[in-house]
Structure 1
Amino acid sequence: MSKKTLVSAITAALVVGAASTTFAAANPFSDVPADSWAYDAVSTLAADGVIDGYPDGTYKGQNTMTRYEMAQIVARAMAKTDIEKADKALVDKLAAEFAEELDNLGVRVADLEKKSDNVKWTGELRYRYYDKNHDSDKKADETYNKIMFRLTPQAYIGNSDWVAKARINYLMDVASDSNNINDSSDSDASVDQAYVEGPLGAATVQAGRLPVFTAQGMLFDDRISGAQVSFGDTFKTTLAAGRYSEDSHSSEYTNINAKDITAEYYGIQFDWKATDKMAVNAGYTQLTSIDQGTGLYDDTFENLNDDSLGIWYLGGSYAFDNNVKLVGEYAQSDADAFEKAGIVEVQYKGSDVADPGSWGAYAGYRHLGNNVVIASTYDDASAGQKGYVVGASYVPAENILATIEYFDGKDLDVDQDADKFFGQVEFFF
């Protein structure tokens, strides 16, 4: 990137109306005369401390800029506290692009954000609809039609690298359906995450009601009340322990496993980024003191021998190029029935909420045994089902994401047909 190009980009982000500004001060650089097209922009950025020149008092705008020089400018821009919201959004994008260089320069994004605001708020407004059908039991059919408003505050704790995080949900019914087991005349407000996160030696620690994500989401994507420790980079190890109870569960889970089970949770996962294209994961999860008569421990299915369950898993992904990725995962528990789960999925491209017009699609097959899949991340198939899935997502405008998914398969316990249509629109802020 040339400095001339940089002036255009940074000026658009930081200097509002700079082209019409008149400066009484002398030229900041000897090789940028007052009649230069870039004079106003360069002068403003120099006065604000965003850019500087060479020791001989020149700017050398014709020279090619290195990524490290660009990172220095981005760091200075991020440290400014008086820029407009739209300008800050562009600076944040530049920071993401040059994150590695900023890190090598000892510049931490979190440190710079502390200077502008001790508490950072983000969130989303989401509309979700789905329709589930079961040939074996029409009473189990379900239509879901709700809006969720979500806030996710993050507060920096003193001058340390520790932060406090939370997630606040307000769930509202859109329409009533007598067959909808989620119907309620009252809206549902909840705080489903509240935890602290920070470094402890070479590890990153989380404690409180925190999110846990295992086996690429096939096994578990929910909350526990406890602690999680992770360390390593290319080869990462994550340890988690805590209480998994109804207070921790997402209010939107309709799978009986995730809704009703209460247990002690212990887990270890290894993630290895073997190459730029290939990633591998493996792990083990143990649930103990599972409440009898609910969820996994159900005498009618003779699912478990006692009130504990151990699950091991192995999986990974391989990117053939920038557009096509193959994802697979396999897991098995020590239960006597419904003890296996596996997925295979081909992903094409991928939507990015910061890139209007971007889109992605996937197709795959899922076999989700009841006694393995506790609270999966999937919106198409549920635990206790097997079959084919397809889906697509599209970004019509920045920070707006539209998703559709479809499942066609069977319920495992009765081996009869089941299907589901899922649609969602999310607005992020």
Structure 2
Amino acid sequence: MNKKRMICGLVPALAISMSSTVGAQPVVMDTKPAMEQNAVTENQTGADAQQPVTQESLQVMRKQLEEQLHQAQELQSRLNAQLESLDKRMKKVEKRSWQPPVEIHGYGRLRWDKHHYEDRNDPNDYKTIWLNLFTKYRINDRWSLHSEHEFENNLTDNHGAYEGHGGYNEPGGKKYSRPVLQLYAEGRVGEVNVKAGRYYLQSPYKFTFDDKIDGWQASYGIPTKWGRKANFTLSAGNTYSKIFYGDKENELNYWNEGGDGNLKVVSLIGEIPIAKNTNLATHYGKIKRRTDRLERKTWSFGFDTKLNRDLKFWAAMAKSDSQTLNKSHVLQLQYKEARPDIPGSYDIYIKKYLQRGHSGMTNWFNDDIAEFTHGDYKAENLANNDGDKVWQYSRWGEFNGLRVGVDFVPVRNTKLLINYTFGKMGKCLDRDPGRRYAYSFFRTQWEMYF
């Protein structure tokens, strides 16, 4: 008798166990005898195992199940509330990730330059300090407002930012001032990156254009199999610069160091990956002065490639439609790379370049050789009719030489730059190249980033 009861009690228990194992719905016991036997089996303890299942005991079981269901529903509600709270906190964290909406960073430079010209008895010695501040204000997740502010002081003669030795008319007067170098809005329109305002336009390798313009820019990238995008950038706007200073074709006050600005600028830049470690860079530029329609066109083409993990090579050439000698080139070989975020990193490089003033539209390699873009213009030379002295180092001159440099990162967010440049500089007319003079240029610079 006991054996039969045990069998009757195990059958529904096995059914329930198997259904829960395979993830199916619990077996529903339709027959009252099976429920009674199951209840007896689950509740039997000694003598109580002989007690029959009553309606009251079934109601107690049902009540217990309802309580368990209610507890499960409460647990589900609390879990949903916790998930909702977590989602809110995540959104707050994501919002704080780009807060505050204003970012400020920049860098400072301490520089010592020493120049020596063959036909001068006294070498030029300059000590200057710079501070560049960059700001970024996030308007929303697609648009932002940017600015750059530059402050300079010549420690040699204690003149301020872009301040000349006497200015145009009054002693100590400023020639021109650019405390706000950039101020533009940047964002996306569909898949196109857009800039509008005053921004810095730099051609590849700083070869044919390197100045600020007031206008707009649109850039579009096309994915390539090399994992880098081929970028095409169209820029248009206005600039005020020294582009036509000392230009033979400039018949409108060509010795005005202000450059007789108000120039219309159009630029198209292409940067195209053609291999895993190789990129092509091209540029077409055109400027036109609005007052007399004097025009200049420039083209450049170059590439950079990694020869191995630590060795990189650049080569580029440029040409303009100037009537003077108008071709330039640059070759550079660099070992390693000095990165401000990696203390102890460094690089060593050698660069050979032929630089002619009219190959570029403005400030071509201006940071490499001081006084070259501006020329050696002095009012007393004109007063003494020393025209040859003026033209000798003017913008239609050239420099042909080498530079050897070392960059080193002693501590994080700093960089020490040391380079030495030497070669020949002088005027270069098509029919009368004239004499080239030996020229050397030494620079030591300490940069700090924040």
TM-score range, shorter chain: 0.5 to 0.7
Q: Choose from 354, 357, 368 the match for 1:370.
A: 357
- Displacement of 1:265 in angstroms is 1.2
Residue of structure 1 equivalent to 2:27: none
- What secondary structure does 1:216 align onto? helix
- Residues 12-411 of structure 1: pairs in structure 2 closer than 5 A: 80=93, 113-114=97-98, 116-136=99-119, 142-157=124-139, 159-176=140-157, 190-233=179-222, 234-246=229-241, 260=259, 262=261, 263-289=263-289, 307-373=294-360, 374-377=362-365, 379-381=367-369, 382=372, 384-411=398-425
**Aligned partners of 1:144 and 1:182 also within 8 Å:** no
- Displacement of 1:136 in angstroms is 4.1
- Displacement of 1:142 in angstroms is 3.5
Structure 2 length-normalised TM = 0.61
Counterpart amino acid of residue 424 in structure 1? Q
- What secondary structure does 2:205 align onto? helix
Aligned-partner Cα distance in 2 for 1:173–1:210? 25
- Displacement of 1:143 in angstroms is 2.6
Aligned-partner Cα distance in 1 for 2:111–2:291? 31
**Aligned partners of 2:238 and 2:265 also within 8 Å:** yes
- Displacement of 1:221 in angstroms is 2.4
Counterpart amino acid of residue 272 in structure 1? I
Aligned-partner Cα distance in 2 for 1:330–1:264? 24
Aligned-partner Cα distance in 1 for 2:181–2:264? 18
**Aligned partners of 1:317 and 1:326 also within 8 Å:** yes
- What secondary structure does 1:355 align onto? coil
- Displacement of 1:247 in angstroms is 10
Change (3 A) 1:276 1:316: same
Change (3 A) 1:390 1:291: farther
Change (3 A) 1:311 1:112: farther
Counterpart amino acid of residue 447 in structure 2? E
Aligned-partner Cα distance in 2 for 1:427–1:79? 34
1:119-156 C-alpha deviation (Å, 9 max, x unpaired) = 001011211121222224568x6432111122111000
Change (3 A) 1:340 1:326: same
**Aligned partners of 2:417 and 2:444 also within 8 Å:** yes
- Displacement of 1:415 in angstroms is 1.5
Aligned-partner Cα distance in 2 for 1:228–1:120? 23
**Aligned partners of 2:242 and 2:260 also within 8 Å:** no
Counterpart amino acid of residue 235 in structure 1? A
Aligned-partner Cα distance in 1 for 2:349–2:414? 19
1:12-62 C-alpha deviation (Å, 9 max, x unpaired) = xxxxxxxxxxxxxxxxxxxxxxxxxxxxxxxxxxxx989xxxxxxxxxxxx
1:342-386 C-alpha deviation (Å, 9 max, x unpaired) = 000101111000000000111021111111132235633455311
1:186-218 C-alpha deviation (Å, 9 max, x unpaired) = 997711111111111221111111011113212
**Aligned partners of 2:242 and 2:259 also within 8 Å:** no
Structure 1 length-normalised TM = 0.64
Matched, 1:428 2:449: yes
Change (3 A) 1:186 1:308: closer
Aligned-partner Cα distance in 1 for 2:221–2:404? 34
- Displacement of 1:279 in angstroms is 0.4
Aligned-partner Cα distance in 2 for 1:196–1:247? 26
Change (3 A) 1:421 1:258: farther
Counterpart amino acid of residue 210 in structure 2? D
Counterpart amino acid of residue 126 in structure 1? R
Aligned-partner Cα distance in 2 for 1:147–1:161? 36
**Aligned partners of 1:126 and 1:147 also within 8 Å:** yes
- Displacement of 1:80 in angstroms is 4.5
> Aligned-residue CA RMSD in angstroms?
3.3
Change (3 A) 1:136 1:128: same
Aligned-partner Cα distance in 2 for 1:127–1:343? 27
Residue of structure 1 equivalent to 2:70: none
Change (3 A) 1:183 1:406: farther
Change (3 A) 1:315 1:417: same
Q: How many residues align?
A: 303
Residue of structure 2 equivalent to 1:64: none
> Among the aligned pairs, what percent are the same residue?
21
1:289-326 C-alpha deviation (Å, 9 max, x unpaired) = 1778xxxxxxxxxxxxx821111111011101121011
- What secondary structure does 1:371 align onto? helix
Aligned-partner Cα distance in 1 for 2:272–2:282? 9
Q: Which runs of 5+ in 1 are unaligned?
A: 1-47, 51-75, 82-110, 249-255, 293-305
Counterpart amino acid of residue 419 in structure 1? S
Whose radius of gyration is greater, 1 or 2? 2
Counterpart amino acid of residue 129 in structure 1? W
Aligned-partner Cα distance in 2 for 1:349–1:198? 34
Residue of structure 2 equivalent to 1:15: none
